[in-house]
Amino acid sequence: MTAVTCIGLGLMGSTLARAALASGHDVAVWNRTPGKARMLADIGAVAPDTLADAIAASPIILICIDSYASTRVLLETNGVANRLAGRTIVNLTTGTPREAEALSVWVGEQDARYLDGAILCGPGAIGTAGGELVFSGDALAWQVAGPLLTCLAGKVRSVGRAVGDAAALDLAWLTMSYVKFMGVAHAASICRAQGIDLQAFIDLFPADPFACKLARIIKDEAYDQPTATLQVWGEALARIQMQARDAGIPSAMPDFVAGYFRRAMDMGLGQQEAIAIYKTLPVNEQPT
């Protein structure tokens, strides 16, 4: 038996699986597109052919895919749901508190334990002191999975008993990034209109590495090697909108930003860096 099964081997999921392997754990992996699992098998993971066998392989199941809806479809698959009993399911997919609560209830109905988690860093920080993961929910699930999860990043914490707390804190944290995306994109437009090289803007903010990184991507037109795609950021933004509706709080800010992400997706920019939303801003050739 392996210690953990990692389901979902995209940019983030594959990094989590590598970190689990690097920390000395036996790891099983499964991905919808099998080629990605073979890459992990090459460095020591077990890669069962079926999702059911991957679930059966470990007592802890770590999920990191596109959405809770897909997670539910996977777990409800014939031959999968009936293998969950007694296992601890840890979901690191970005979602809303309500989605976390619903999945927690469903997993409980399968006689399994559920821990909800959120990743407050990019793949580059996983397995390093700067990586940050937060979890909330079932205290016993945290007791079971905590020692393994602690090996995946430098800062790994349980942030609450209420299962939706990690998702809420994640969405609150992510919201600040969208403010920066919009701010840097508009700042670049200002510089372009004034004929200022974007390097002059970058030089103003040495203490803000995120703003500098975004501005540099625009300056160098280096949109093609994202560590999280515009599509993934767009899906997280949709979760921020959903949370606002669920909680009855204003959604004007995420709704406004979502218009830019929708336009970028329509322009075929989904696999680029999120700051490619800059390309949706029209160049005003004839100022008034």
Among 5, 88, 91, 94, binds ligand NAP (CB under 6 A): 94
Work out which of 6, 8, 54, 168 binds ligand NAP, going by CB under 6 A. 8
d(CA 105, CA 114): 8
- Any contact of residue 29 with ligand NAP (CB under 6 A)? no
By CB under 6 A, name the one of 107, 182, 185, 236 that touches ligand NAP: 236
Q: How far apart are CA 20 and CA 219, in angstroms?
A: 36
Beta bridge partners of 219: none
Binding ligand NAP by CB under 6 A: which of 46, 54, 62, 65? Answer: 65
| CA neighbours closer than 13 Å in the CB half-sphere of residue 165 | 14
Burial of 39 (0-12, 13-18, 19+ CB in 10 A): middle
Do the beta carbons of residue 185 and residue 279 sit within 8 Å? Answer: no
Options 22, 23, 26, 32; binder of ligand NAP; rule CB under 6 A: 32
**How far is it between the farthest Cα atoms of the chain?**
69
Q: How far is the CB of 65 from ligand NAP (least distance, A)?
A: 4
Q: How many binding residues for ligand NAP (CB under 6 A)?
A: 25
> For residues 153 and 125, is the Cβ–Cβ distance under 8 A?
yes
* Interface stretch with ligand NAP, choices 30-38, 128-136, 181-189, 216-224 (CB under 6 A): 30-38
- Using CB under 6 A as the binding rule, whether residue 5 contacts ligand NAP is answered as no
Residue from the set 227, 241, 251, 280 that interacts with ligand NAP by CB under 6 A: 227
In three-state secondary structure terms, 205 is coil
| Binding positions for ligand NAP, rule: CB under 6 A | 8-13, 31-33, 36, 64-66, 70, 74, 93-94, 119, 122-123, 227-229, 232, 236
